[in-house]
Structure 1
């Protein structure tokens, strides 16, 4: 009969269990039941504060170990625990500081309700629907983590209506435009500057992201087997041993991609940079900004009167050329590091583009079947 009694109840929508210094006797059980009734009543009235909880349960590990963090405290823990590149981390921090911290920083996590969040969202003058979606998704991610950690009993951000953001139309170059750009760069760039011509030939004919191109090292290139390994990125002047999708991939090299890499190898200085595309000025081992190659691209576009697109359009160009050539979406998706579904969603209008007209031609070839004449000789 000397064992203690435990009571269970909910506090701030989270199930709790406390051990009481009462023996398992009728008197001890009655005292425990009375204390539980008091706790339930205080919680119902919103009066079960941290101070009151500590008064009722002075030896609880719940309060002593401060397991009720504020939104500001938990958000910082959430952010610190994630493996993120610098740019992504800054985007999360910007969303938190701009939209959520001013109202929620000092509020205990379990005290944040869906109604409170709805009012905050309503009062914010959002710069764009994209900003709102990113900020709300960030908030929801924080509460999902808090729910998994047992800090809250539900995700109040899940009740915030999601806004639909119209996906930006991709704007690839045509194959003819891409070839003109590459030819112009090779024709006008001399000496070590030719590295930028090789850079864009590889970009147009592998679909690699700019951040992947800038981080490509010779150790990841196998010219004999005609493939390269994409396993790192350059972000904000730093090399990160990971890629955007978190999964490294092998890119198979066509003849144009091989030509680009062979040109880069010819330009390689013995004992020089281990990166495939080092800056022409030799001031560092790798190009630290996407703006450096972009300047040469924009100059070429201006010289040839080709409409300017951003550097990333080279990736879209490769994808659309592959699809229009009849390559399977699964193969193209592997080359780009996409899922097949993302590929289909992004490039749907370029898939079967030629066969679509064959389908349309069926309409011009269609003729009404001859009408039958009724047996009574009357034409209907």
Structure 2
């Protein structure tokens, strides 16, 4: 909300100055001279808070947050997220007594243009042949292939979120002995370390350690690991000579596995393995699709939703809302059950 548009500064420079410096409390005092010049100009040309009392100004801001830089409408999820953030700002302003009321639209008026679906796109799921080919290509990768193979195999077989897998320690995996009859392993998931950017963390690290998504502080969960994963992890720990307190999946330097490395390896595998038309499709496009594929397979294999939700770290309602459209292959069995229940009884002929 500016009185005039900047002419002496490029729009991208103004956005960068605001995003990277003005809105970052830990960096604000260290802003370079050119950034300080931009921020002072923004301060002089910003409209007063009373502008939020003008409905046309509010509409102007909402149109802006719903629009991409190229002038096209932003995706529904982006519009919803932007409006949610803006609403948090308004509530903060009210608490600080800068505003008296929230000027943003309320109720249906605020959500009619931002309807979204949590359901997974069925096209993003991989079949077994595709998953096997992708994992095998990563395993054969000359640089760090075996380490990354163990990581991606864990995502695929256990349905972990990537930020959960990179936080795991060797001691978090219970692996049976080679001669044990039951070769299923068990993973204890208790921490997530998402990438938030070093400029946004108090420690200056790229990753930030957090509790599990959607769980109470300190809460943990376990997930079973297929015998195939047991063999992979056993060999991985032996090859890397890992100790109980070590990170299970490490970068080449021994630190936490970087998201850029993970995404680059996955994209390279898709490009090398999948036909061009499949590579361009949503199939396995994101690393997260390993999780979607596993959770869908568990549901399609008849695992009770409550159990899948526990392994996945979801609530049952969220699980069903997310994966209901992906559950298939059970219709023939359901038809047989319904047919076995019988039809209406035949009544005697009243004639």
Change in Cα spacing, 1:243 to 1:299, as seen in structure 2 (3 Å) is farther
Post-superposition offset of 1:265: 0.3
CA distance in 2, matches of 1:369, 1:250: 49
| Contact residue 175 and residue 317 of structure 1 kept, 8 A | no
Kindly indicate whether the alpha-carbon contact (under 8 Å) linking 1:109 and 1:151 is maintained by their aligned counterparts in 2: no
**Is the CA contact (8 Å cut-off) linking 2:191 and 2:211 kept in structure 1?**
yes
The structure-2 alpha-carbon separation of the partners of 1:144 and 1:284, relative to structure 1 and needing over 3 Å to count, comes to same
Residues 150-195 of structure 1: CA distance to partner in whole angstroms, max 9, x if unpaired? 5444322243521213556142112343234334544x34685311
Cα separation, 2, equivalents of 1:189 and 1:122: 47
Distance 1:124 1:301 in 2: 39
1:76-225 equivalences under 5 Å are 105-108=46-49, 112=53, 116-122=57-63, 126=67, 127-128=73-74, 129-159=76-106, 160-162=109-111, 163-167=114-118, 169-170=121-122, 171-186=124-139, 188-189=140-141, 192-223=144-175
Q: 2:173–2:188: 8 Å Cα contact kept in structure 1?
A: yes
Shift of 1:285: 1.9
Residue of structure 1 equivalent to 2:284: 309
Could you tell me which runs of 5 or more consecutive residues in structure 2 were left unpaired when the two chains were aligned: 1-18, 26-38, 68-72, 177-184, 199-205
* Per-residue deviation, 1:260: 3.0
Whether the 8 Å CA contact 1:233–1:242 is kept in 2: the answer is yes
> In structure 1, how many angstroms separate the alpha carbons of the residues matched to 2:57 and 2:322?
36
Correspondence 1:322 to 2:298: yes
Partner SS for 2:88: helix
Q: Is the 8 A contact 2:296 2:326 kept in 1?
A: yes
What SS does the aligned partner of 2:149 have? helix
In structure 1, the partner of 2:202 is none
The structural deviation recorded for 1:242 is 1.0
Q: Give me the whole-angstrom Cα distance separating, in 1, the residues matched to 2:333 and 2:88.
A: 47
State TM-score, norm by structure 2.
Answer: 0.63
Distance in 2 between the 1:299 and 1:363 partners? 46
Q: How many residues align?
A: 278
What is the Cα deviation at residue 244 of structure 1?
Answer: 6.6
80 and 340 in structure 1: CA distance in 2 versus 1, 3 angstrom threshold: farther
Question: In the TM superposition, what is the alpha-carbon distance from 1:115 to its structure 2 partner?
Answer: 5.4
Answering whether residue 193 of structure 2 is matched by residue 233 of structure 1, we say yes
3-state SS of paired residue (1:161): helix
SS at match of 1:344: helix
Distance 2:101 2:156 in 1: 47
Say whether the 8 Å CA contact 2:309–2:319 is kept in structure 1. yes
What is the aligned partner in structure 2 of residue 345 from structure 1? 321
Q: 1:278 aligns with which of 239, 246, 250?
A: 250
Q: Is the 8 A contact 1:203 1:314 kept in 2?
A: yes
Q: Secondary structure at the match of 1:317?
A: helix
- 1:249 equivalenced with 2:220 (yes/no): yes
SS in 2 for 1:253: strand
Larger Rg: 1
Cα displacement (A) at 1:124: 6.7
**Which structure features the higher share of strand residues?**
1
1:261-276 equivalences in 2 (<5 Å): 261-269=233-241, 274-276=246-248
* RCO comparison, higher one (Cα < 8 Å, 6+): 2
For the structure 1 residues 153 and 363, does the alpha-carbon distance in structure 2 shift closer, same or farther, using more than 3 Å as the test?
farther
Q: CA RMSD, aligned part only? A: 4.2
- Deviation, structure 1 residue 270: 6.0
CA distance in 2, matches of 1:350, 1:111: 44
Q: Which moved more, 1:286-295 or 1:116-125?
A: 116-125
